[in-house]
Amino acid sequence: NLYKKYGDYVALDGFNLNLCQGENLVIMGKSGSGKSVMIKCLIGLEIPDSGTIEIMSQKLEHLSLKALDEIRADIGFLFQGSALYDSMTVRENLEFPLRRHISKFGNVKDTLPLVEEALQNVGLKNVIDLMPNELSGGMKRRVALARTLILKPKIIIYDEPTTGLDPITSKEIILLMKSVQEKYKTSSIIITHDVDCARVIANRMILLIDGKNYAEGTFAELSTSQDPKVKAFFK
């Protein structure tokens, strides 16, 4: 029941979300519908005006900064556009979260096995010493996913994972996301406009309109709806 307002703009208007263990939940919404604000609230970067966020039996509003940081170590985030550090090699990009979350893994002296394992899990070889500008768009997205997986998160949030990719690469990333969920048993929230992505990966979908859960159901249920607002998402 989240509410968040900026001046006269109502970003979230009683939004509700339940994510089940091992589930891929797709959230679709137009620009300005509240998706980005919802994500920021979920990871504690924004504080809702009212409502409750509970993650793995812990209420965010009751957590200290240290406890919130520990929760974040269990939440992987694949940024739109990958968001790799341009001045770091692939290896350094993957090592960064390990050093940031020392409390989860301890002071890892030899990070190479963890980096190589993460790259192997996204189907990449021989890129460990490359710079981001030496990678294709699809390779950058895979490296970004490897960086997300290296902390072995329980929840992964994907923000427009196929944006800016060609159709073939988009399909590869979608299938990779599906295999990651099956291998790691993660729970995932996927923010996307990509209908093909939703068709392949969604166990359940929420259509977010004007900060509210306008419709919820499986892809089959929503894609055959006769509601004009729902039909507009599947044209």
Q: Which is it for the CA torsion 132, 138, 143, 147, positive or negative?
A: positive
Residues 72-99 have pLDDT tens digits of 888 888 887 788 989 999 999 999 888 7
Question: 177, 190 in Cβ contact below 8 A?
Answer: yes
Q: What percent of the chain has pLDDT over 90?
A: 44
What mean pLDDT, rounded, does the chain reach?
A: 88
**Averaged over 44-58, what is the pLDDT?**
90
* Residue 229: predicted pLDDT: 94
Query: In this model, does residue 109 exceed pLDDT 80?
Result: no
Q: What is the pTM of this model?
A: 0.86
**Averaged over 99-108, what is the pLDDT?**
63
Question: 42, 201 in Cβ contact below 8 A?
Answer: no
N-terminal to C-terminal alpha carbon distance within the chain? 30
Kindly give the pairing relationship between strand 58-59 and strand 54-55: antiparallel
Pairwise pLDDT comparison (7 vs 98), residue with the higher score: 7
| Cα 144-66-42 angle, rounded to 5 deg | 55
**Averaged over 195-205, what is the pLDDT?**
93
**Which amino acid is located at 163 in the chain?**
T
